[in-house]
Amino acid sequence: MLKEGLLKENIDGEAILGAYNRLKKEKKKEKY
């Protein structure tokens, strides 16, 4: 159970990071 919880949190964290990186890239495109 503990491993499953950690794995789920890790996946959620990666998804959030991925979305954040995409937002940063889109904002850079708007600037230039």
The predicted-structure confidence for 1-32, as pLDDT tens digits, reads as follows 567 776 777 778 788 888 889 988 888 877 66
In degrees rounded to 5, what are phi and psi of residue 11?
A: -65, -45
The encoded tokens of residue 15 equal 């998804």
Helix (H/G/I), strand (E/B), else coil: 1: coil
User: What is the structure's pLDDT at 1?
Assistant: 55
For the entire predicted model, the pTM comes to 0.49
